[in-house]
Amino acid sequence: MRLSSTPENTATVTNPVIPGFHPDPSVCRVGEDYYLACSSFEYFPGVPVFHSRDLVHWTQIGNALDRPGQLRLPLDSPSSGGIYAPTLRHHDGRFWLVVTNVSGDGNLLFTATDPAGPWSDPVRLPGVHGIDPDLAWDDDGNCWCTTAGVGQVRIDPHTGETFGPTRRLWSGSPGAKAPEAPHLYRIGDYWYLLIAEGGTERCHGVSIARGPTPTGPFEPCPANPILTHRGTDHPIQNTGHADLVQAPDDSWWMVLLGVRPGGGTPGWHVLGRETFLVPVSWTDGWPVVGELSPSLPAPSWPLRPAPALPDRDDFDLSELAPHWVSLRHRPPEACTTKEKAGWLTLHARGGSLDDTDVTFTGRRQQHTSCRVRALVDAADGRGGLAVRLDERHHCAIEVSAGEARVSARIGPLNTVVASRPVPTGPVVLRIEVAAVHTVHDARTGPDTVTLGIEEPDGTFGELASLDGKYLSTEVAGGFTGRVIGMFAGAGAVHFDWFAYEPVDR
């Protein structure tokens, strides 16, 4: 998130506030501190947790689900499975997090006194059905859990017990599919039920209803949907899955997911669904969402820039930073900084990126143009750098036995694109992602992904270039975005450092 000024010296902020694959944001405020959690799907650790003092600058402070006892993702669970749509709330001196693990464990509830962790073991909610669970407490202390559909049941959040059958509440606009992402709030004299509808693609939108009690009856807002970019040429699309928060100055704000498609038709988004911020006002007891744009007026309070992710990790610490994620689990014997001091060592399990148990550790791509470099020693194995969307959509440059190879998997097609000899010993691998700003025809992709070797003099020895649309959600399907990282396909592969650099084009 960048802070800039117009010629009139009016401060603005740049959306998205949390770029890259950070969908389904849920936010709560405690005093002057804001906390936000996102979906993580098949990646471990799960549910990244962020902190901010101004709603604009966010720092990842941990992952709520960071041990196998909290997060079970079987090796045969599909990509875009796993952890869906957390709701994060603060109540009675504790933080509460409820999520759905669609890969086997259903709805789960966790608590913590510190949102940075540790978080509790899960409380299972077998009587809560559906995805996207929400938590809200009424004045009598009753806890209501509302899920996609939209259904609701009262629960004991300490034990997971449910009371009575699930009741249907309000299912959004007539004819709109997929009413989901419910959030229930007590604001003034009403209970408000905020939902997403229209599906999470181009028709996504946000609607709201209100009623006298948490169980309704609910009347819809006459201006529904209160936010959507469907049918427009707006640069931010798929807007939905929102959450509301009130600032200390009594202003209201909304966080939501959206995508930034690029290229020609139909437009391809590659970073996944990102977290955006938009102001909210109130008229006649209904929220009115301000203009959601890539640049919007800054909040009235002082902005507090947060530390950015480091451009380079030298793997000098005993544990990986929280922004590093792996696939489904991360056994210490497969991914460690303790085996070779100052290096990250990956031990192969699956033989390639096509396998669900491949040893892979990466970070989300957060910029439309970026450069990734790593010093790799594959004397004891085979591995390198990869851009991953899922098992059927990825590209990589790997080294072994004095040779570097670029491979690409696009659906059923899997091929070695190029190769060249390299000296024995450590070598710097490099990936350049360049956004395309000029559309030559309707088929022009959103970016190019170029893979190669960095020569001793620092020049880039390109081996192959791929049209980035083949590593997009519109091609691959699913709910995730690109993750760029390191992998081992055979034996042990050592990484001295990994550098991620945004490139302003």
Token digits of residue 122: 């899960």
Neighbours of 225 (CB within 10 A): 23
pLDDT at 4 over 50: no
Residue 45 CA to residue 47 CA, distance in Å, equals: 7
Residue 82 CA to residue 39 CA, distance in Å, equals: 9
The chain-wide mean pLDDT, for the chain, equals: 95
The yes or no reply on domain 3-258+271-297 and CATH 3.20.20.370 is no
Model pLDDT for residues 308-349, shown as the tens digit of each residue: 888 999 999 999 999 999 999 999 999 999 999 999 999 999
Token digits of residue 78: 């599909």
CB 205 within 8 A of CB 234: no
Peptide bond before 182: cis, by omega within 30 degrees of 0? no
Residue 472 CA to residue 477 CA, distance in Å, equals: 8
Pairing label, strands 381-390, 370-377: unpaired
CB 194 within 8 A of CB 220: no
The residues, any chain, with a CB within 8 Å of residue 233's CB and separated by 6 or more, are none
DSSP secondary structure string for all residues of 303-339: P-PPPPPPSEE---SSS--TT-EEES---TTTEESSS
Residue 64 CA to residue 179 CA, distance in Å, equals: 26
Pairing label, strands 237-246, 252-259: antiparallel
Tell me which fold the domain 312-502 belongs to: Jelly Rolls (2.60.120)
- Does 24 qualify as catalytic in the annotation? yes
pLDDT at 200 over 90: yes
Model pLDDT for residues 213-228, shown as the tens digit of each residue: 999 999 999 999 999 9
Residue 429 CA to residue 505 CA, distance in Å, equals: 22
Q: How confident is the model at residue 121 (pLDDT cuts 50, 70, 90)?
A: very high
- CA distance to 97, 150, 179, 206, 257, per residue, from 168 (Å): 23, 6, 12, 19, 25
pLDDT at 58 over 60: yes
Residue 270 CA to residue 263 CA, distance in Å, equals: 11
pLDDT of residue 13: 86
CB 465 within 8 A of CB 445: no
**Rounded to the nearest 10 degrees, how much is the dihedral formed by the CA atoms of 199, 207, 165, 101?**
40
Residue 273 CA to residue 21 CA, distance in Å, equals: 5
How many helices (H) does the chain have, and how many strands (E)? 1, 39
pLDDT of residue 339: 95
Token digits of residue 21: 């694959």
| Catalytic hit among 24, 105, 398, 447 | 24
Model pLDDT for residues 71-113, shown as the tens digit of each residue: 999 999 999 999 999 999 999 999 999 999 999 999 999 999 9
Q: Where are the domains of the chain?
A: 3-258+271-297, 312-502
pTM (two decimals):
0.96
Secondary structure letter of residue 232 according to DSSP: S
Give the rounded percent of residues in the chain with a pLDDT score beyond 90: 93
Query: Per mean pLDDT, which range of 23-37, 68-82, 226-240, 298-312 is the poorest?
Result: 298-312
- Does 92 qualify as catalytic in the annotation? no
pLDDT of residue 309: 86
Q: How confident is the model at residue 482 (pLDDT cuts 50, 70, 90)?
A: very high
pLDDT of residue 505: 58
Q: How confident is the model at residue 10 (pLDDT cuts 50, 70, 90)?
A: low
pLDDT of residue 477: 97
Residue 78 CA to residue 75 CA, distance in Å, equals: 8
The candidate with the shortest Cα–Cα distance to 292, out of 262, 258, 244, 250, is 258
Q: How confident is the model at residue 424 (pLDDT cuts 50, 70, 90)?
A: confident
| Catalytic hit among 42, 105, 134, 180 | 180
